[in-house]
């Protein structure tokens, strides 16, 4: 089934927050942010801005009736700065005006006097000064300290990866309208409707029941709207509370880029030890996560770095430690992969380092150490259903790895001005929220008396096709035509206490809750039908909009059955609940079984580097991926292609640039570049691994949102491989992204 939203998308009829028809009297909110990264507010003069015609009000912390606090994990982030500012762009006030054009003009009239403090932008500097968001954590397996002596080879080094701007094409935004009795409805572009609801209630000083959050869809999220959609919804609602008029707040692109956090930059140290036959015996790493000025989701992101520190490899002795370092950047946040890619980049760097020193191909070490069933992860879970060796041999066979290598060697021997390179990138990614309580979901299903069906879940549609999958599940289970099923908006009044749409787990959690709801309804409907046909419940089945009895089609349609059940006063509404079984994690010992299952795969990346200009083009990326049993190939293959290219962007051209004062230099689309149609690989081939699929995956169709992003890591190492073909003296720096600048400097370094 094609994405059910596609027709609305291609005709421009799909509705995003800014497309909702505005109610008469709607006002427009514009945040005023700190001009500097760190300082003490001495005074703010709003008088000229307030006097500007059309400005209705300027809201500050003084207008907050509840708590001036939006921190999700830790209460360490103010909605509006009161005394101090900790990052450039940190909101200090909200201008509310008759139009956004008026608000922009008024914003320029605000005069602020700040005592400037020296900002910290480097996570290692923050760690040295004791500036941590929370205490460090360590995952351990075996004993690294006593392993080094047994290693034939030990290598140490540093690996850095930069941040990444989400660049959802729809910027952050919300539209809040007053309802009666002080209730407020917020239409929000958020991955976490409940987070918006909970935080709004907290700031406004009201119960959560007063706040209704509704999400139709997002124009992209990628993690950037998991936690960081919240302040804009809260501000709009605060405007409603104070002014009793609808308030719309849509960030412009530059404000969005300056005011919101991004993928965490990491600086890391590694130490890797190998046996003579290239088995990795020991691995240590220290991760310095650049968390920015407040916790946001950094603790959870940091945790996933530790979970994925050894990627797709089994290492018997591991000790990895992570520091969440407090700096004066906007609070960094969730981004597809959620700390996992940053951790994986480090071990891939360590392996590439070892391979260079030992003069063997990197993939020889990779292949030698692949995870297999029964291996223990550093966090205690035992690997199961791995399939990496099959994936590896499939890739070698399907894409003729030997031939590719030979062609690249021949090409390089015959060309001086251009060089080709390649890399192999295996991935292993755990599926579930690592915070066990978040692995729950609910779905509300109405069967209307005419047989049509309304489905509400906690899943937010942001392009990943989750609503299509939900609709497939309901239509398949009731065996009715998909046109009879409607996916409702995600709404906190219909489905409460939702986990955000994140961790690749949205379809699994909400789909299983939906299955539970459908099963309960089917049970009741079968009972009605069984009574009618005077048979057992087990004799009834639904197929093609018809009721089947003892394997034969009856003349009763789905609609007739529903109508009959309704008249019998059978409940045709069900709320399904699902909580992932098995999973657990004990932080006190850092051991447990945190993931429902893992997703695995392997990518072969081929690149051509222009050694005159330092630019590069990707010839191909060829992937063998473990989908399980994909329930929707067009959606799932689209996730692989899109995730891969996003990961490649992070590793190549996407360069976040803060100056030493903590000011974002790459604050617009003219200075921050994401892949365009000319920069994607000429060819992307995706082969599915033949496999059973995991029981805990919805319909055995494994989660596919985040894992493919990490295939993009291969871009870095493929470029490096080509650079070394031109300049054997190049000493690897493991400093992603590998921009055109870094490539040219590497080509001509001594």
Per CB under 8 A, contacts with other proteins among 202-231 are 217-222
Q: Residue 540, exposed/middle/buried by CB under 10 A (0-12, 13-18, 19+)?
A: buried
Q: Is 101 in the site for other proteins (CB under 8 A)?
A: yes
What's the CA gap between 379 and 375, in Å, rounded? Answer: 11
We find the least distance from the C-beta atom of residue 361 to other proteins, in angstroms, to be 26
CA 296 to chain centre: 14
Q: Which is nearer to other proteins, 17 or 280 (CB)?
A: 17
Nearer to other proteins, 393 or 679 (CB): 679
For residues 140-179, which are near other proteins according to CB under 8 A? 166-171
Looking at the Cβ atoms of 197 and 632, the one nearer to other proteins is 632
Smallest separation (angstroms) from other proteins to the CB of 81? 25
Q: Nearest CA to 318 among 267, 294, 293, 284?
A: 284
Examine residue 6 and tell whether it contacts other proteins (CB under 8 A): yes
Nearer of residues 248 and 271 to other proteins, judged by Cβ = 248
226, 461, 706, 720: the active-site residue: 706
DSSP secondary structure letters along 288-349: EEEEESS-TTHHHHHHHHHHTTTTTB--SEEEEEEEEEE-SSPPP---TTTTHHHHHHHHHH
CB of 18 to other proteins, least distance (A): 7
Is 706 an active-site residue? yes
Q: Which is nearer to other proteins, 417 or 586 (CB)?
A: 417
* Ramachandran angles phi, psi of 136, nearest 5°: -65, 160
**CB of residue 668 to other proteins, shortest distance in Å:** 6
Contact call for residue 645 and other proteins (CB under 8 A): yes
Asked if 425 touches other proteins (CB under 8 A), the answer is no
Of residues 356, 668, 691, 733, which one binds other proteins by CB under 8 A?
668
452 sits near other proteins (criterion: CB under 8 A)? no
Greatest alpha-carbon pair distance for the chain in Å reads 87
How many Å apart are CA 650 and CA 708, to the nearest integer? 13
Q: Alpha-carbon distance 730 to 96, whole Å?
A: 55
Spatial separation of the C-alpha atoms in residues 730 and 412, rounded to whole Å = 16
Stretch of residues binding other proteins (CB under 8 A), selected from 392-400, 504-512, 589-597, 668-676: 668-676
Answer yes or no whether residue 52 interacts with other proteins by CB under 8 A.
no
For residue 737, whether the previous peptide bond is cis, meaning omega lies within 30 degrees of 0, is: yes
* Binding of residue 401 to other proteins (CB under 8 A): no
Where does this chain touch other proteins (CB under 8 A) — which range of 155-163, 365-373, 381-389, 679-687? 679-687
Residue 23 engages other proteins in binding (rule: CB under 8 A): no
Backbone angles phi, psi at 679, to 5 degrees: -100, 0
Q: What are phi and psi of 245, to 5 degrees?
A: -135, 155
Give the number of residues written for the chain: 750
The string of DSSP codes covering 181-212 is: GG-EEEEE--S-HHHHHHHHHHHHTS-GGGEE
**Cβ neighbours around 412 below 10 Å, total:** 17
The residue among 462 and 474 lying less far from other proteins, judged by its C-beta, is 462
Q: Please identify which residue in 8, 182, 205, 581 interacts with other proteins, judged by CB under 8 A.
A: 8
**Of the candidates 61, 74, 104, 148, which one interacts with other proteins according to CB under 8 A?**
104
Instruction: Return the number of the residue (582 or 612) whose C-beta is nearest other proteins.
Output: 612
Strand partners, 584: 593
Q: Determine if 612 is a binding residue for other proteins (CB under 8 A).
A: yes
Backbone region of residue 51 per phi and psi (left: phi > 0; alpha: psi in -120 to 50; beta: other values): alpha
Q: What residues numbered 222-281 form the site for other proteins, per CB under 8 A? A: 222, 250, 252-253
Scanning 109-117, 366-374, 458-466, 561-569 for contacts with other proteins by CB under 8 A, the matching segment is 458-466
- Smallest gap from Cβ 655 to other proteins, in A, equals 7
- Is 728 a residue that touches other proteins (CB under 8 A)? no
Kindly state the tokens that stand for 5. 């939203």
List phi, psi (to 5°) of 293.
-85, -10
- Does 657 contact other proteins by CB under 8 A? yes
Q: How far is the CB of 217 from other proteins (least distance, A)?
A: 7
Write out the catalytic residue numbers.
706
């Amino acid at each position: 089934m094609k994405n059910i939203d596609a027709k609305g998308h291609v005709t421009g009829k799909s509705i995003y927050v800014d497309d909702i028809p505005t109610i008469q009297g709607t006002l427009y909110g514009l945040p005023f942010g700190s001009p500097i990264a760190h300082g003490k507010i001495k005074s703010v003069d709003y008088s000229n801005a307030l006097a500007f015609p059309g400005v209705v009000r300027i809201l500050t912390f003084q207008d907050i009736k509840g708590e001036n606090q939006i921190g999700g994990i830790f209460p360490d982030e103010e909605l509006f700065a009161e005394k101090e500012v900790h990052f450039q762009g940190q909101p200090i006030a909200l201008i509310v005006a008759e139009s956004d054009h008026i608000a922009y003009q008024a914003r320029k009239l605000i005069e602020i006097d700040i005592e400037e403090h020296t900002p910290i932008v480097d996570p290692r500097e923050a760690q040295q000064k004791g500036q941590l968001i929370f205490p460090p954590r360590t995952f351990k397996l075996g004993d690294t300290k006593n392993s080094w002596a047994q290693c034939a080879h030990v290598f140490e080094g540093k690996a850095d990866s930069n941040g990444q701007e989400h660049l959802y094409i729809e910027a952050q935004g919300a539209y809040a309208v007053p309802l009666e009795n002080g209730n407020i409805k917020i239409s929000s572009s958020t991955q976490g409707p409940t987070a918006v609801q909970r935080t709004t209630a907290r700031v406004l000083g009201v119960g959560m029941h007063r706040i209704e959050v509704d999400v139709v869809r997002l124009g992209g999220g990628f993690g950037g709207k998991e936690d960081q959609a919240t302040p804009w919804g809260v501000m709009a609602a605060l405007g409603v509370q104070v002014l009793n008029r609808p308030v719309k707040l849509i960030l412009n692109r530059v404000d969005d880029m300056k005011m919101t956090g991004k993928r965490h930059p990491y600086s890391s140290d590694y130490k890797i030890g190998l046996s003579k036959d290239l088995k990795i015996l020991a691995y240590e790493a220290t991760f310095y996560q650049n968390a920015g000025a407040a916790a946001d989701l950094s603790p959870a992101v940091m945790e996933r770095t530790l979970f994925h520190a050894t990627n797709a490899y089994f290492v018997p002795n591991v000790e990895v430690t992570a520091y969440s370092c407090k700096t004066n950047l906007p609070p960094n946040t969730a981004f597809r992969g959620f700390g996992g890619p940053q951790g994986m980049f480090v071990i891939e760097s360590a392996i590439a380092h070892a391979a260079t020193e030992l003069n063997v191909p990197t993939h020889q070490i990779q292949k030698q150490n692949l995870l297999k069933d029964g291996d223990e992860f550093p966090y205690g879970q035992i690997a199961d259903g791995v399939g990496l060796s099959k994936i590896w041999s499939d890739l070698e066979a399907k894409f003729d790895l030997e031939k590719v290598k030979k062609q690249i060697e021949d090409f390089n021997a015959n060309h001086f001005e251009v060089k080709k390179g390649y890399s192999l990138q295996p991935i292993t990614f755990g599926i579930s929220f690592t915070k066990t309580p978040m692995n729950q979901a609910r779905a509300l299903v109405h069967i209307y008396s005419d047989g049509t069906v309304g489905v509400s879940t906690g899943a937010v549609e942001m392009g990943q096709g989750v609503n299509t999958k939900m609709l497939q599940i309901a239509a398949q289970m009731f065996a009715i035509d998909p046109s009879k099923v409607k996916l409702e908006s995600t709404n906190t009044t219909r489905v409460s206490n939702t986990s955000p749409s994140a961790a690749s787990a949205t379809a699994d959690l909400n789909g299983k809750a939906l299955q539970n709801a459908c099963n309960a309804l089917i049970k009741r409907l079968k009972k009605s039908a069984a009574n009618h046909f005077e048979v057992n419940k087990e004799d009834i089945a639904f197929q093609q909009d018809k009721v089947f009895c003892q394997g034969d089609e009856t003349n009763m349609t789905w609609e007739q059955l529903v109508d009959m059940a309704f008249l019998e006063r059978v409940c045709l509404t069900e709320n399904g609940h699902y909580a992932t079984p098995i999973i657990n994690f004990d932080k006190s010992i850092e051991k447990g079984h945190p993931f429902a299952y893992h997703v695995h795969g392997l990518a072969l990346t081929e690149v051509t580097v222009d050694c005159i200009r330092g630019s590069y083009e990707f010839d191909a990326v060829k992937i063998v991926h473990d989908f399980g049993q994909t329930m929707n190939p067009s959606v799932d293959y689209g996730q692989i292609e899109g995730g891969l290219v996003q990961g490649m962007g992070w590793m190549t051209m996407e360069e976040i640039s803060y100056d030493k004062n903590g000011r974002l230099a790459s604050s617009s689309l003219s200075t921050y570049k994401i892949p365009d149609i000319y920069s994607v690989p000429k060819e992307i081939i995706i082969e599915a691994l033949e496999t059973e699929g995991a029981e805990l995956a919805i319909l055995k169709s494994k989660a596919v949102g985040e894992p493919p992003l990490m295939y993009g890591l291969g871009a870095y190492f493929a470029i490096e491989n080509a650079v070394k073909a031109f300049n054997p003296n190049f000493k690897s720096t493991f400093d992603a992204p590998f921009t055109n600048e870094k490539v040219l400097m590497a080509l001509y370094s001594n």
